[in-house]
Amino acid sequence: MAAVDLKRYAAFLKDYTELRMQENRTIGIGFLNGNNTGNSRSSSRGVSARVYRQGSWGFASSPDPSDDSIKAVLSLAQQNADFLHAREDKGQGPLPSVVAHLEKDFSTKKPRLSQKDLLAYAKEVDNYISTEYPDLTSRSVGLSSLEIEKTLLTSEGSFYRSLIPRSFIYINLAAQANDGPVEVFDLHGGLGQFEDTLPSDEVLHSMIDRLYEHLMRKKEGVFAEAGVKTCILDAKLGGILAHEAIGHTTEADLVLSGSVAGRLLNQEVASPLITLVDFAHTAFGEVCPVPVYVDDEGTPGQDVTLIEQGVLRNFMHNKESARIFGVAPTGNARAYAFSDEPLIRMRNTAILPGDSSLEDMIASVEDGYYLIQASNGQADSTSEFMFGVVLGYEIKNGKLGRAIRDTTISGVAYDVLKTVTMVSDQHWWSSGGMCGKKQAIPVGMGGPAIKCQITLGGR
Amino acid sequence: MRHGDEVAQEALDALLKAGADKASCGVSTSVVTELNVERAQIGLLRSTMNVNVNLMAIKDQKKGSVSLNSLEPSAIDRAATDTLAMAAVSQPDPAFDIAEAQEPASFESGAKEPDHDAMYDRMKEFLDTVADKYPTIMLRQAYLSFSRHNWSFVNSNGVDYRTEQGVYRFNALFSAREGDEVSSFNYTGFSMRDLEQELLERGSLDIMLRQTTEQVRTRPVKGKFMGDMIIAPDCLGSFLGFLTHPLSDRPLISGTSLYKDSLGEKIAGAEFTLHSRPVSSEIADGYFVTGDGYAAENSTIIDRGVLKSYLLSLYGAKKTGRERAKNNGGAYVVEPGTTPLEEAIRGVKQGVLLVRFSGGSPSANGDFSGVAKNSYYIEDGQIAYPIRETMVSGNFAEAFRNLKVVSKERVDFGWSILPWVVVPGITISGR
């Protein structure tokens, strides 16, 4: 991104104002059955400003980073705030003032891989799959990366410059079962550019071999029995439960709009085994997959303990909701693109590990399911949720049984979490997906495996 | 700001100069004005502008693509060089191609500029009406936007298209609350060419708000049974996605499509006719040119239950040896049936009215399962009560094949016109 000294514009920021320069860069490479179906790069950059005037906000953005354009964007954002203020004088007070100064750069220190290198890597992976597993109906290999580089200046004096990349390799395998095609997928990657995230051959081949084994078992798999079942949700599902089912209900804007969490503060909402945290940037001594050191309102990122030993303790805030609730902002205001306004978003939401081993948890189930991978998830303001489950096994008398076909699990999260009786000692971060809330944005989701009662869809 | 036509031609020249055998370039500029409501107050006015330049080059049947959002000549030149460099290192595929020459043309629809005052007035009127008519409704978020989108597309075969489209769009997300009891959230939206009509009179907005106020107190369906499912228009969009995805490039190229051998075969009930009409006057938010650079045409995908067309791009068509679709899909119009909705409900012995489906993508074999949100239990031809914690599952291909009824009434969303449909054989499980 071309260097523009935003501090030069400090004198133009009158009412509370954020001025942000941002560039999002992507790489996409795809092979479908050996055909090179994807080979692209993209960049989207620009400048935006947001102005607050007694409860009314004005926002403007432009892709043009020139001096004239930046001044025009600032002026238009102010005009928009004035337009609304003239019609909707809300008479609201100033926003909480918090100041941060920081620079964070997670770009690789290794020599950069070219597009040719990345294509060759993906092709080699595809060759491995086609050679080792010629009986597949279809296979696909994808490389995908997103780098978000931004500089933020606020009228309060906050200044933050960051480059946060994430990159992944995706594998999808399909085989023909008696009743039609079945598929499995997996991915590997996280925070960092490809140079830092692409797995070694050993790790990758082991992932593919495991995936193929799952596929063969799924091909012979059975439909899950519909109804309320005892299940072990693997760490990957624990993360999505933390994010979708609980996390969204505790975003302060949703609380203000009637989320069920609003009336549950300081009440027992889960088993005492459950502690759930939205980490800003660092957890368990390591940098999280989506680190937010300073948010897009210039607030330093603070960890938010949402549930502490089963009791709902806090909500996630931006400046405006913090003012309404009379608390400090938590650094959860995030925008995806230069042309997006910051919204209250999660960062890295995780249930904290417990002290049971996964093996003991499976052994403790007489008749239930071990659910390993989710395809997607949605949740409601009531905390009712659903996740698509694309990989799982029966548990019979404490042992893993037959694989199951795709199914859906659902429940009311605050009820389901009360049924948790075991939490594993492992923790797993996943960050390959995007969270959708007007804008799509990368988030980290983490968790241990949990044992709970949950409703399965099935035949 | 430089004009899109000029930049598109300049980029195409740069790609050819850099050595492309075949090349294309699309340049879009969009200007959006958006009024945002949070917690029933108009809190934010956004004005955003963006540009997007997409360059594609084929050399020795190898392809590269680059997109950027700068119109600067030096950035375009660099992007053209990068596109060729990317093509040089990719894998060749004889199916890579560009659209053949067509008569240059310009297309235009909608307003050129937003009416800010009318936008504000319509939104204010909506908020006041909802507060009065549905006092238990909590508007979590709503926005009314105007988008002016200009697109210039050229390729080295002589394709030269310009489109200019202006459209208003509205979306709302809401729930209802009575004391400590809260409904599930629901949402809807629509597009329109102008603001002549009240927002509450458009799309399914009034129906959805009324239903949401009825859904504060819900209960799970008892047990598990096989029954009929009436799919409401807002939800039918998701099911049309399930139905049309197997007709597209990836499933057909990979061979995993349920419908790979179904052209000319019956895949839906006889009353079901599905058109894709991106250039029809009845669609406010359509498109004129396909992503490959062909003038879009209206088409019939399913005619009285029989599959008439796949939705293949130029690449997909060459790869599979089948016919290229006349459009990119979308802009779906389902022909109305002859049965009024009330009569369709009376015909259901036991089932659900599915208003929102919260579920994963179906399996490649068509199996789906998910939660019936904002939905109702139907018994003996009557809507009995609003439900929660109820799952619906089945196979969408079987469901459409056995589709029983298409309603006479339809909802115009601006981007689609859809009825209620009744499908049998759905497993419905509660507690």
pLDDT tens per residue across span A5-49? 899 999 989 899 999 999 999 999 999 999 999 999 999 999 999
- Quote the minimal CA–CA distance from A284 to chain B in Å: 32
Residue range(s) in chain A whose domain bears CATH number 3.30.2290.10: 6-219
**Residues 6 or more apart in contact with residue A115 via CB below 8 angstroms:** A27, A29, A39, A41, B85, B86, B89
Calculate what percentage of chain A has a pLDDT beyond 70.
99
**Cross-strand bridge partners of residue B56:** B24, B65
Q: Which residues in chain B have their CB less than 8 angstroms from residue A59's CB?
A: 44-48
Half-sphere exposure of B272 (CA within 13 A, CB side): 25
* DSSP H or E run through B424: strand B417-429
Is A436's Cβ below 8 Å from some Cβ in B?
no
- Quote the minimal CA–CA distance from A286 to chain B in Å: 32
Q: What is the 8-class DSSP label of residue B387? A: B
| Token pair 């799309």: residue | B203
Question: Beta strand pairing status for B160-178 and B105-109?
Answer: parallel
Name the residue type at position B400: F
- Cβ contact A380–B45 (<8 Å): no
3-state secondary structure of B46: strand
Q: Which residues in chain B have their CB less than 8 angstroms from residue A407's CB?
A: 369
Tokens of A374: 């989710």
- Cβ contact A62–B429 (<8 Å): no
| Partner residue opposite B39 with nearest CB, options A58, A226, A256 | A256
Q: Tell me what ipTM this predicted complex has.
A: 0.91
- Cβ contact B369–A458 (<8 Å): yes
**Crossing angle, helix A115-132 and helix B73-89, to 10 degrees?**
30
- For residue B23, pLDDT over 80 is answered with yes
Q: Which residues in chain A have their CB less than 8 angstroms from residue B169's CB?
A: none
Q: What is the pLDDT of residues B33-77, one digit of tens each?
A: 999 998 889 999 999 999 999 999 999 999 999 999 999 999 999
Is A4's Cβ below 8 Å from some Cβ in B?
no
| Partner residue opposite B89 with nearest CB, options A55, A119, A226 | A119
Question: Which of A53, A61, A257 should we substitute to test contact with B (largest number of B Cβ atoms within 10 Å)?
Answer: A257
**Cross-strand bridge partners of residue A386:** A378, A410
pLDDT band at A2; cut points 50, 70, 90: low
Half-sphere exposure of B270 (CA within 13 A, CB side): 1
HEC string for chain A:
CCCCCHHHHHHHCCCEEEEEEEEEEEEEEEEECCEEEEEEEEEEEEEEEEEEECCEEEEEEECCCCHHHHHHHHHHHHHHHHHHHHHCCCCCCCCCCCCCEEEEECCCCCCCCCHHHHHHHHHHHHHHHHHHCCCCCEEEEEEEEEEEEEEEEECCCCEEEEEEEEEEEEEEEEEEECCEEEEEEEEEEEECCHHHHCCCHHHHHHHHHHHHHHHHHHHCCECCCCEEEEEEECHHHHHHHHHHHHHHHHEHHHHHCCCHHHHCCCCECCCCCCCEEEECCEECCEECCCCCCECCCCCECCCEEEEECCEECCCECCHHHHHHHCCCCCCCEECCCCCCCCEECCCEEEECCCCECHHHHHHCCCEEEEEEEEEEEEECCCCEEEEEEEEEEEEECCEEEEEECCEEEEEEHHHHHHHCCEEECCCEEECCCEEEECEEEECEEEECCEEEEEEECCC
- Cβ contact A41–B66 (<8 Å): yes
The more confidently predicted of residues A459 and B124 is B124
Q: Which residues in chain A have their CB less than 8 angstroms from residue B7's CB?
A: none
Cβ atoms of residues A416 and A271 within 8 Å: no
Tokens of B185: 């959230």
Q: Which residues in chain B have their CB less than 8 angstroms from residue A122's CB?
A: none
| CA atoms of A408 and A75, how far apart (whole Å) | 49
- Cβ contact B89–A411 (<8 Å): no
pLDDT recorded at residue A91: 85
Is B261's Cβ below 8 Å from some Cβ in A?
no
- Cβ contact A381–B182 (<8 Å): yes
Cβ atoms of residues B274 and B267 within 8 Å: no
Q: What is the pLDDT of residues A386-410, one digit of tens each?
A: 888 999 999 999 999 999 998 889 8
Calculate what percentage of chain A has a pLDDT beyond 90.
83
pLDDT recorded at residue A236: 85
Tokens of A48: 């935006």
| CA atoms of A352 and A284, how far apart (whole Å) | 10
pLDDT recorded at residue A1: 65
- Cβ contact A384–B182 (<8 Å): no
Question: In this structure, is the dihedral angle defined by the CA atoms of residues A153, A156, A160 and A166, taken in order, positive or negative?
Answer: negative
CATH of A6-219, one of 3.30.2290.10, 3.30.56.10, 3.90.25.10, 3.30.70.520: 3.30.2290.10
| CA atoms of A450 and B55, how far apart (whole Å) | 48
pLDDT band at B2; cut points 50, 70, 90: confident
Interface of B with A in 166-225 (CB under 8 A): 175, 177, 180, 182-185, 224
- For residue A136, pLDDT over 80 is answered with yes
The domain segmentation of chain B, as residue ranges, is: 4-214, 224-429
- Cβ contact B184–A46 (<8 Å): no
Q: What is the pLDDT of residues B77-114, one digit of tens each?
A: 999 999 999 999 999 999 999 999 999 999 999 999 99
Q: Which residues in chain A have their CB less than 8 angstroms from residue B47's CB?
A: 59-61, 76-77, 80
Is A251's Cβ below 8 Å from some Cβ in B?
no
CATH fold for domain B4-214: PmbA/TldD fold (3.30.2290)
Is B115's Cβ below 8 Å from some Cβ in A?
no
User: Where does B43-151 have alpha helices with state H?
Assistant: 73-89, 116-133
Q: What is the pLDDT of residues A224-242, one digit of tens each?
A: 988 889 999 998 888 888 8
| Token pair 């909506």: residue | B126
Is B393's Cβ below 8 Å from some Cβ in A?
yes
| CA atoms of B20 and B14, how far apart (whole Å) | 9
| CA atoms of A294 and A98, how far apart (whole Å) | 10
Question: Beta strand pairing status for A384-396 and A367-379?
Answer: antiparallel
| Partner residue opposite A36 with nearest CB, options B41, B48, B93 | B93
Closest CA to A119 of A199, A212, A205, A27: A27
Calculate what percentage of chain B has a pLDDT beyond 90.
90
| CA atoms of B285 and B167, how far apart (whole Å) | 7
Please indicate, yes or no, whether the overall pTM of this predicted structure exceeds 0.90. yes
Name the residue type at position A246: I
Q: What is the pLDDT of residues B142-201, one digit of tens each?
A: 999 999 999 999 999 999 999 999 999 999 999 999 988 889 999 999 999 999 999 999
Name the residue type at position B252: L
| Residue A61: count of CB within 10 angstroms of its CB | 28
Q: Span B251-261, mean pLDDT?
A: 93
pLDDT band at A180; cut points 50, 70, 90: confident
pLDDT recorded at residue A77: 98
Is B369's Cβ below 8 Å from some Cβ in A?
yes
**Residues 6 or more apart in contact with residue A415 via CB below 8 angstroms:** none
pLDDT recorded at residue B365: 87
**Residues 6 or more apart in contact with residue A78 via CB below 8 angstroms:** A14, A15, A17, A51, A58
Is A18's Cβ below 8 Å from some Cβ in B?
no
- Cβ contact B70–A63 (<8 Å): yes
pLDDT recorded at residue A459: 62
Give whole-number Cα distances, A19 to A16, A59, A165, B34, in Å: 10, 10, 22, 19
- For residue A100, pLDDT over 70 is answered with yes
Interface of B with A in 265-304 (CB under 8 A): none
- Quote the minimal CA–CA distance from B139 to chain A in Å: 7
Q: What are phi and psi of A202, to 5 degrees?
A: -60, -45
Q: Which residues in chain B have their CB less than 8 angstroms from residue A137's CB?
A: 254-256
- Cβ contact B46–A341 (<8 Å): yes
- Cβ contact A375–B360 (<8 Å): yes
